[in-house]
A = this chain, B = another copy of it.
Amino acid sequence: MVEIRKPIPVEKAIREVMNYASKGIVEEVPIENSHQRRLAQQVVATNNVPSFHKSPYDGFALRSIDTNEASLESPIEFEVVEHIGAGQVPTKKLHNNQATRIMTGAQIPEGADCVAMFEICKTYKKDDKTYVSLKRKMEMGQNIIKEGSEVVMGEVLIEKGTMITPGVIASLATFGYSSVKVAREPVIGIIATGTELLDVDEELRPGKIRNSNAYMISSQIERAGGTPKYLGKLADELESSYETIKEALEEVDHLVTTGGVSVGDFDLMPAIYEKLGAEVLFNKIAMRPGSVTTVAVLGNQLLFGLSGNPSACYVGGELFLRPIIQASQFSTTPYLKRIKATLADEFPKPNPFTRFVRCYVVYKDGKVYTKVAGIDKSNVVTSLAYSDCLMVLPGGTRGFKIGDEVEILLLNNYEGQQDFN
């Protein structure tokens, strides 16, 4: 007799899995290795920016009070007492009618309270000294970037859990974070099950297919921020499969298996969960594809039993595994970013269950459209190659027309969102 399973809504299934999201583990890496990791600490300003009054231009620093009488007819003359570039420290305090030649980014000398740009100054030599003359009045503070005007020391600049992008690295370097606390990447084991599976380098034989799911989910794990660990493939044989999975669990944080979760005669995962003593959270979800996606818990480890069908495996990985990986990296927005889009293709199939359709985003005239990947044929594997989002079609709908508003989940967006819905 075929086992009858009761499907649960996908939102409920995700909540149940996320109840077991583990706290992140912190590790420290040199700043140059921090690209695309997630921050396990806040970035705090360790100094004012700028940390000194600074010139935004090449020009002459001087006292604005000395320019009060300056005009086209009667330029004021200043003696140039020093010449400093960025990184050089001014040594001379300015007194009346003295100026310092100063480069962009350099520190304003004591006494000066403004900078006159080169373009409005005239320099000349006289008695072996350098002078500059100015024909207009300057305001106090003019052309000076004040200490702390950009960032005040102690300010929290970037939150924990943020993905480290080039812009984040700029802040880290500016504030002296030569090593950075980042979230450890969880190690996710992968085991493919199915007697029909060949290794990727094997010749195709009758009745067999190559194992594509393990490599695909491995890449999904990398995209989500985890470290995949491929532990091989298993034939549909209970005892040896059980042993391999039991050993695998000692090497990884969580384990993904592909295949073997359905109710077919050779689907062994249910028996293996039982033998392991793992608690099955659910084994049937009211969604397509991936309705047989099963998640079980053993201690603090999650066992993701994904379908052997490529698109179901893909969807299961994105919906259940991705947020677990991201939450363990301190992300407060671990779920796929969901946005509204206009459907640019017919999708006439009725949806008794929530359906996740492989799609891609098209931007046009400021609007977001989505097109169904590979709608012209049932080519599952190739259409995955061109998908960058999943369209969510709610259960109980009768199909969708061109121009309908739909929701899509962005697969390559690392920002995410706080909740699944």
Contact = CB atoms under 8 A, between A and B. Distances in A.
Interface of A: 2, 31-32, 35-36, 43, 47, 49-52, 58, 83-90, 101, 103-107, 118-119, 149-151, 157-158, 162, 164-178, 194-197, 199-204, 206-220, 222-223, 230, 235-236, 262-266, 308, 310, 314, 337, 339-342, 363-368, 377-388, 405, 412-415
Number of copies: 2
Nearest to A172: B215
Contact of A87 (B84, B195, B213): B195
A196 B85 CA distance: 8
A341 B366 contact: yes
B382 A216 contact: no
B197 A166 contact: no
B195 A86 contact: yes
13 contacts: A47-B204, A49-B379, A52-B207, A84-B207, A88-B195, A167-B383, A171-B382, A173-B214, A173-B216, A176-B202, A176-B203, A339-B363, A412-B414
Residue among A162, A200, A414 having the largest count of chain B Cβ atoms under 10 Å: A200
A366 B167 CA distance: 27
Given A86-B266, A382-B171, A176 B151 contact: no
A413 to B, nearest CB: 8
B206 A170 contact: no
Contacts of A382: 150-151, 157-158, 171
A216 B263 contact: no
A415 B361 CA distance: 11
Contacts of A176: 200-204, 210
A171 B366 contact: no
A211 B386 CA distance: 40
Please indicate which of the listed interface residues A264, A341, A364 has the most CB atoms of chain B within 10 Å of its own CB: A264
Given A165-B219, A219-B165, A379-B151, A366 B368 contact: yes
Given A151-B382, A314-B166, A218 B32 contact: yes
Contact of A174 (B51, B149, B209, B365): B209
Contact of A107 (B119, B162, B206): B206
Q: Report which residue of A90, A219, A386 has the largest number of chain B beta carbons within 10 angstroms of its beta carbon.
A: A219
Given A88-B207, A165-B219, A207-B106, A379 B200 contact: no
A51 B236 CA distance: 21
A209 B58 contact: no
A265 B217 CA distance: 56
Contacts of A50: 209
B87 A165 contact: no
A205 to B, nearest CB: 8
Contact of A105 (B35, B178, B209): B209
Contacts of A85: 195-196, 236, 264-266
Contacts of A170: 212-213, 215-216, 310, 314, 381, 384-385
Given A219-B169, A266-B85, A31 B365 contact: no
A189 to B, nearest CB: 14
Nearest to A337: B363
Nearest to A369: B366
A47 B219 CA distance: 23
A171 B209 CA distance: 12
A32 B339 contact: no
A26 B1 CA distance: 55
Contacts of A162: 385
A18 B183 CA distance: 38
Given A2-B118, A339-B366, 20 more contacts: A35-B223, A36-B222, A51-B209, A52-B207, A85-B195, A104-B262, A105-B194, A107-B207, A149-B378, A150-B382, A158-B385, A167-B384, A169-B215, A171-B381, A173-B216, A174-B209, A175-B210, A176-B201, A340-B366, A366-B405
Contacts of A166: 216-217, 219-220, 223, 314, 384
